[in-house]
């Protein structure tokens, strides 16, 4: 599904990703772990198509398409979803209106008719249940004045609404108490299928008790330096990152 080869990316001449390789197949859950500042969010943003980052070398291929020339909205329409580490607050636009615009633009790009008000409402109701989010929260401005947990639940709600093929969850666990963590993880697990894939970015092992990964990768200084199964996460939890030296 996703093939990243020798990816180099920089921002304002600072090199952040330095030759990163990753392959994700449908049905799989991958976890990317690594210390602060190692480039995890950068990787997530580059896959989603953020234009502030220059891809200086390598390529990202998604379902046979080179993403290189595609803008963020086209990638989303191809089925890529990024749950933001820091969801943006947008006063004056309600999540409901936001999602209606998004769902219908994605449908339009596929030559489908837009959802009418009734069908949209029905879809919303169904997905709201999944992450236990209230209607009044969605009528409010996007993330404006939301608690940390509400913001993260809103991200998973949006993911459920858009039904992506590849979801990248950037630190979706940070700032969540154990109950919220369970709600969010249950949501993600419920959306999992053989046809889609999930990449979980985190620096705590805790989340991986709930969203169990097939593969765990360690990202240090812009490169994946070690990969393994879920036991690698436990090992990292115990020993930290210092024992893994880039190049080992």
Partner 1 sequence: MNITKDLKKLVSKEEDINLKNKKTDILDSLDLTYSLQKEEYKYTPLLKIVDKKFDLLKENKDQISQKSYEEVAKFVNSKFYLISVDGYFKSELSNIPPKVKIKKYSELEREEKDTFENMYQKHDDSKSDFFSSLNSIIHEDCLTISVDSNTVLKEHITIININENYDVNNYRKMIFCDKGSEISIFERFINLKSDENFSSSVSEIYQAENSKLNYYSAQDFKENYHYNSINVFQKRDSVSNFFTMSFSGSIVRNNLNICLHDKSCYTNMYGFYAMNDKSLIDNHTSVDHVDENSLSNEHYKGIMGGRSNGVFNGKIFVRKKAQKTNAFQSNNNIILSDKSKVNTKPQLEIWADDVKCSHGCTVGQMDDDAIFYLMSRGISRKDSISLLLSAFSSEIIEKITDEKMKSLLTELIKKQLEKFNDE
Task: Give CA 86 to chain center in angstroms.
Answer: 12
Q: Which is nearer to partner 1, 168 or 180 (CB)?
A: 168
> For residues 156-195, which are near partner 1 according to CB under 8 A?
158, 162
The footprint of partner 1 on this chain (CB under 8 A) covers a number of residues equal to: 32
Does residue number 11 form part of the binding site for ligand ADP (CB under 6 A)?
yes
How far apart, in whole angstroms, are the C-alpha atoms of residue 97 and residue 131? 19
- Spatial CB neighbours of 118, under 8 Å, sequence gap ≥ 6: none
> For residues 144-203, which are near ligand ADP according to CB under 6 A?
none
Specify whether the CB–CB gap between 204 and 31 falls below 8 A.
Answer: no
190 binds, among ligand ADP, Mg ion, partner 1, none (CB under 5 to 8 A by kind): none
Q: At its nearest, how many Å lie between partner 1 and the CB of residue 160?
A: 12
Q: Which is nearer to ligand ADP, 41 or 196 (CB)?
A: 41
- Spatial CB neighbours of 14, under 8 Å, sequence gap ≥ 6: none
Helix (H, G, I), strand (E, B) or coil at 9: strand
Q: Are strands 54-62 and 14-24 parallel, antiparallel or unpaired?
A: unpaired
Does residue number 213 form part of the binding site for partner 1 (CB under 8 A)?
no
CA angle 76/200/216 to nearest 5° reads 130
How far apart, in whole angstroms, are the C-alpha atoms of residue 185 and residue 188? 5
Q: Report the interface residues with Mg ion, using CB under 5 A.
A: 40-41, 85
- From the list 216, 219, 225, the residue with the least C-alpha distance to 245 is 225
Binding-residue pattern over the window 31 to 70 for ligand ADP, x denoting contact by CB under 6 A: ---x-xxxxxxx---------x------------------
Q: At its nearest, how many Å lie between partner 1 and the CB of residue 145?
A: 14
Interface with partner 1 (CB under 8 A): 48-52, 71-73, 75-77, 81-82, 84, 87-88, 90-93, 97-99, 101-103, 105-106, 109, 141, 158, 162
Interface with ligand ADP (CB under 6 A): 11-12, 14, 16, 34, 36-42, 52
């Amino acid at each position: 599904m996703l093939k990243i080869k020798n990816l180099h990316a920089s921002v304002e001449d600072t090199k952040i990703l330095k030759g990163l390789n990753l392959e994700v197949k449908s049905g799989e859950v991958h976890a990317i772990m690594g210390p602060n500042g190692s480039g995890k969010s950068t990787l997530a943003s580059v896959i989603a198509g953020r234009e502030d980052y220059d891809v200086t070398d390598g390529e990202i291929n998604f379902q046979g398409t080179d993403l290189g020339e595609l803008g963020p909205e086209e990638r989303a329409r191809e089925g890529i979803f990024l749950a933001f580490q820091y969801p943006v607050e947008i006063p004056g636009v309600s999540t409901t209106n936001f999602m209606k615009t998004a769902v219908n633009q994605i449908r339009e790009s596929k030559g489908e008719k837009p959802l009418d008000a009734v069908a949209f409402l029905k879809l919303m109701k169904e997905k709201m249940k999944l992450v236990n989010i209230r209607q009044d929260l969605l009528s409010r401005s996007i993330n404006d004045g939301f608690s940390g947990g509400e913001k993260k639940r809103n991200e998973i709600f949006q993911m459920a609404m858009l039904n992506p093929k590849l979801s990248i969850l950037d630190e979706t666990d940070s700032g969540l108490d154990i109950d919220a963590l369970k709600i969010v993880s249950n949501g993600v697990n419920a959306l999992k299928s053989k046809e889609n894939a999930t990449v979980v970015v985190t620096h705590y092992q805790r989340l991986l008790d709930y969203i169990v990964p097939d593969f765990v990768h360690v990202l240090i200084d812009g490169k994946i330096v070690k990969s393994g199964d879920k036991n690698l996460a436990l090992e990292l939890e115990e020993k930290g990152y210092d024992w893994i030296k880039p190049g080992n």
